[in-house]
Amino acid sequence: MKSKKITYIALGILISSVNLSCEKWLDVQPKTQIKANELFETEAGFKEALAGIYTIMTDRALYGREMTYGMMGVLSHEWTGFSPSYNDDATYNYLSSLSRGRIDAVWSNMYKAISNANMLLDNIDNNNVFTGNNYTIIKGEALALRAFLHFDLVRCFGLSYAVNSSQASIPYVTLYTSNQTKQHTVDEIVNKAMEDLILAKELLKTDPIYTGRTINEIDDNGYLINRQVHMNYYAVKALLARIYLYKGDYVNARLEAQSVVDVQKFPFSSQQHVSDLVDLSGAPEHIFALQINDLHQRSIDHLTSQGTGPIFSLSSTVADNYFGADIKSNDYRYIYLLADGTGGNATQKYSLKYSEPAEVQGITNPEYYREKIPLIKISEMYFILAECDNNDGIDPLTNINKVRTAKGIFALTTLDNFRSLMTSEFRKEFLAEGQLFFYYKRINQELIANTDANLITSQGYTFPLPDAEFEAANRVPNR
């Protein structure tokens, strides 16, 4: 698959709480301020607005660090080494200034991205400026991103669905307005996200990744090349599978996950590409990823012993526990994607997942393997199917083994404890991706590895709402 390097243009919207200024101004970088109605006079303006949503998501406060390998990695204790500024996160002291600052930044930046999506959606049906299928694709992506962001917000700021789905959580904002949006329950948020996704799925039936239409550089300047770094048709289905599992709807979780697996568009990375260090993040496996043009530098800063910090690592002992001392010599993820520290950090290991891939002669389209952080991967679909199998009394090893053998380790023939095995596989597969914390939360795991903290009694699974929400919007407690 050919990759097109995307330059995202940020659209900044200043928000206080979930409140917006009545003036519909967009700050388009660099330092050119234009009104929204001017931006949305052209198709290029809509493309720019959509790109702005992705740009916000790549910020270090969100998926460019904290929601993937940063804060989320500390909360799940997949890291045993991290900068002291994260000590309160590690003990779930969310009221400390540093921890609260990160949490509030997640809230404000997520709603900033949602605001951009809403402004785009408010304008898209009023302007007949689109060529080809760009209207349905851009609208479908914006709806799906709105759902994606709200679902991750409720995974952060709402109680686990299995614990109390009727507890008040966050507002689901669908309009660009200065009026406050009411607080919704966890169940309401989940259902509203699914409504957006079902509509997005219908719109994205024009997506080239679904239709199979070949896109080249001269086709709309290659705008629709490399749909894996956009919220594409299959990303919508995969997110639906994730949400259905979160909700405990195993029937629909299976249907959506199986349909993504069956199209065979997201193969596991080849052993050769991994061992040659060409494919470090598993690019073919990404159903949805973010492209971050300075990701290699961020990896140097945060995932090496020489970084400027904050730095995240795991001890060699814990790495051995994750991957199994008896099989680690065969696991590609251990052999090629973890590096030993140097000097005083020689007992630590650092993830290479976001490092600059090696340049190997003969690799066509090397850009395809660079600068991507996965947000949804094909391995998660196999694990969702395994969860459904286990729930339905079917042997889950078939789907678990698809991932294990793809990573170089042997297939299991007997199952001792499903939950213990699933947790072990999750730790190995999603290191530095931010998903382990949400996995623990979904199953309401009281005690997790590498910490003595009790996640339930400490309320560690649910972030407190920002103080501004209580001051400006009369919110009720969310936990």
In the block, tokens 């079917």 appear at 394
pLDDT tens for each residue of 236-249: 999 999 999 999 99
Over residues 84-92, mean pLDDT: 98
Q: Would you place residue 179 in the very low, low, confident or very high pLDDT band (cuts 50, 70, 90)?
A: confident
Assigned token pair, 272: 């050769």
Quote the pTM value: 0.94
Q: What is the pLDDT of residue 34?
A: 60
Handedness of CA 245, 248, 250, 253 (dihedral sign): negative
Q: What is the DSSP string of 41-77?
A: TSHHHHHHHHHHHHHHHTSTTTTTTTTTTSHHHHHTT
What's the pLDDT at 21? 38
More confident residue, 30 or 346: 346
Helix (H), strand (E) at residue 184: strand 183-185
CA 207 remoteness from chain centre = 21
The single-letter code of the amino acid at 301 is: D
Could you tell me the pLDDT band of residue 300, with boundaries at 50, 70 and 90?
Answer: very high
Q: Work out the average pLDDT over 325-333.
A: 86
- Predicted local confidence at residue 33, as pLDDT: 45
> Helix count (H) and strand count (E) of the chain?
20, 13
Confidence band (pLDDT; 50, 70, 90) for 50? very high
**Dist CA 254 CA 389 (whole Å):** 9
- Structural domains in the chain, sorted by start: 11-473 (1.25.40.390)
**Rounded to a whole number, what is the distance in angstroms from the first to the last CA of the chain?**
45
Residue predicted with more confidence, 121 or 4? 121
pLDDT at 18 over 70: no
* Banded pLDDT at 301 (limits 50, 70, 90): very high
Measured CA to CA, the distance from residue 94 to residue 112 in angstroms comes to 22
Q: pLDDT category, 473, cuts 50, 70, 90? A: confident
Question: Where residue 58 falls among pLDDT bands split at 50, 70, 90?
Answer: very high
Q: Is the pLDDT of residue 478 over 50?
A: yes
pLDDT of 3 reads 41
